[in-house]
């Protein structure tokens, strides 16, 4: 697996996006349950015994129900743009988002590298979503497969 500068590795996510993972553990979102952002409204650490390996990343969950939801719809619950900051992506850069700087917009989870980016995104989500989506194929191509 290639290592992206800044200590985050990548792997393919279910929606063919590469996803930010911890290069030492293989955990996506720092071991936090991606479904809990939606159900609990906050990041919740998953349990080591309740996990799945999905497209090169290990996803942990706080309960079996959340794991079931994720497996049924990984494209919905996995962070958009593979967990990379959409504001940076809109500006043509790849920067890993952090599990604790997040926002749900349009029924998708977005992770941000900084609070200022989350606030800017929240003020004009359609602009950043459109720009990031336009840039994402080219940016994604710069990420290594291995």
Residue 36 counted as domain residue: yes
Judge whether 100 and 115 are in contact, CB under 8 Å. Answer: no
Residue 93 counted as domain residue: yes
Residue 62 counted as domain residue: yes
What domain range is 8 assigned to? 3-141
- Counting the structural domains of the chain, the total is 1
Residue 118 counted as domain residue: yes
pLDDT digits (tens, 9 = 90+) for 48-102: 999 999 867 899 999 999 999 999 999 899 999 999 999 999 999 999 999 999 9
Tokens coding 111? 């992770």
The residue ranking higher by pLDDT, 109 or 18, is 109
Q: Which residues contact 27 (CB under 8 A, 6 or more apart)?
A: 21, 57, 58, 59, 60
| Whole-Å CA distances, 104 to 47, 140, 141 | 23, 22, 25
Which pLDDT does position 108 carry in this prediction?
96
Residue 124 counted as domain residue: yes
Residue 146 counted as domain residue: no
**Can you give the pTM of this predicted structure?**
0.85
Calculate the CA dihedral of residues 81, 83, 86, 89 and round it to 10 degrees: -70
Residue 56 counted as domain residue: yes
pLDDT digits (tens, 9 = 90+) for 9-59: 333 332 334 788 888 899 999 999 999 999 999 999 999 999 999 867 899
């Amino acid at each position: 697996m290639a290592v992206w500068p800044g200590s985050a590795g990548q792997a393919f996510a279910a929606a063919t996006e590469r996803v930010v993972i911890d290069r030492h553990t293989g955990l996506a979102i720092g071991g936090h349950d991606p479904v809990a952002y939606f159900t609990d409204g906050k990041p919740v650490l998953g349990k080591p015994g309740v996990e799945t390996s999905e497209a090169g990343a290990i996803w942990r969950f706080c309960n079996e129900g959340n794991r079931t939801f994720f497996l049924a719809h990984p494209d919905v619950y996995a962070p958009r743009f593979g967990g990379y900051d959409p504001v940076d992506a809109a500006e043509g850069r790849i920067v890993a988002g952090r599990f604790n700087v997040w926002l749900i917009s349009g029924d998708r989870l977005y992770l941000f590298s900084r609070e200022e980016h989350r606030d800017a995104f929240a003020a004009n989500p359609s602009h950043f979503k459109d720009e990031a989506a336009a840039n994402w194929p080219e940016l994604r191509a710069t990420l290594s497969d291995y």
